[in-house]
Amino acid sequence: MTDAVGSIDMPDAEDEAPESKKKTRKGGKRGKKGPLGRLALFYRQIVAELRKVVWPTRSQLSTYTAVVIVFVVVMIGLVTVIDFGFARVIKYVFG
């Protein structure tokens, strides 16, 4: 069976890592910079990640907020009913 790249039984040449490659330094660019340079790199990475975030619209945010509030109110009611039930059972058993 073959796919668009090649045979499943025989891997492509790109998949195999040549053993004659030089090993790279473990620290990379980070090892060459001082503390302020590393802090600036960290800040740039944070900003880059925040640009990738898909922020909800105002209507989505309102919907999500309403769902959470309704869920919390339902759970409070459920726990309250169970708590009163246990209190009555304990009063009945122990007097």
Q: Where are the domains of the chain?
A: 56-94
pTM of the model: 0.49
Q: What sign has the CA pseudo-torsion 61, 63, 67, 69?
A: positive
- CB under 8 Å to 33, separation ≥6 — which residues? 41
Look at residue 14 and give its three-state secondary structure: coil
CB 50 within 8 A of CB 39: no
Cα(73)–Cα(54) distance, integer angstroms: 28
For 1-39, the pLDDT digits (tens) are 555 555 566 555 555 555 555 655 555 554 567 889 999
For 42-94, the pLDDT digits (tens) are 999 999 999 999 999 999 999 999 999 999 999 999 999 999 999 999 999 99
Beta bridge partners of 2: 7
Look at residue 4 and give its three-state secondary structure: coil
